[in-house]
Amino acid sequence: MVDIRTVGVIGAGQMGTGIAHVCALAGYDVKLNDISRERIDAGVKLIERNMSRQVSRGIIDEAAMKAGLAHIFPAETLTEIGQTDLAIEAATEDETLKKAIFKSLEPFLTENTLLASNTSSISITRLASNTDRPERFIGLHFMNPAPLMKLVEIIRGIATDVATYETAVNFAKSLGKTTANAEDFPAFIVNRVLVPMINEAIYTLYEGVGTVDAIDTALRLGANHPMGPLELGDFIGLDTVLAIMNVLHEGLADSKYRPCPLLVKYVEAGWLGKKTGRGFYDYRGEHPVPTR
């Protein structure tokens, strides 16, 4: 098994910064990459804010925060990512983009570098087949937000070897995470169950069965969910919800996975949820207000 000491993270958005955050707190040197230095710097600042929030809540202390931040290094080129022991892709849920990233990274990889994708739905086998090391490729699906959520789904492609799998499990456990092995089927375990529930909640709204407030209240109080499905969709990002539903619909060819037309309409409008200020709730005021 590879002895992982350095981790490269490609993507300084919500997921990439969360992964970098937990790796740095666990003592790994982390190189954070994105398409511009501005995005990388914004990602580092987001990590600092999130660690500060953990300090204020007594989850970590100031010393742990300082040590963690000292383990994070901006990486403006993929050359730096290629020299790490484990390179994790955490880009947008788009198969073409992910394949392009791995192809661009390939010339800079060391012989022993392991590759991982944080994809929440896309075939690990297909992504791995686009690289020069499918046996050293694995899915590491961190839940959002990564610093708080305990689970990491681990997904083997058809070519992933045993040593890569065991290294990935040990790595996730070293971050204080619990692992769940998922077979390489569309959306794996969590999103195979969760995202169709969100899509069904959107159908419930679309068909006029309930309002946004009624649906979310019903699931929070009637099913004891911490967050209603429409609010959760906004938190995940409605573009990501749609992308996962499309992967399920195309990959399993079952009409029960058809994305709700209202979900498609919201994405077409650019109302993607919390990150854009509007989704099933409008977040631009002091308090979120339902948009329907």
- Residues annotated as catalytic are 120, 141, 153, 191
Which pair of structure tokens corresponds to residue 96? 């073409």
Q: Are 90 and 11 in contact (CB under 8 A)?
A: yes
Cβ neighbours of residue 17 closer than 8 Å, sequence gap 6 or more = 32, 43, 44, 46, 47, 50
Residue 210 burial (CB count, 10 A): 15
Cβ neighbours of residue 156 closer than 8 Å, sequence gap 6 or more = 124, 138, 139, 164, 165, 181, 183, 184
Specify the DSSP element, H or E, that contains 82. Answer: helix 78-82
Residue 284 burial (CB count, 10 A): 10
What does R_g of the chain's alpha carbons equal in angstroms? 19
Amino acid in position 279: G
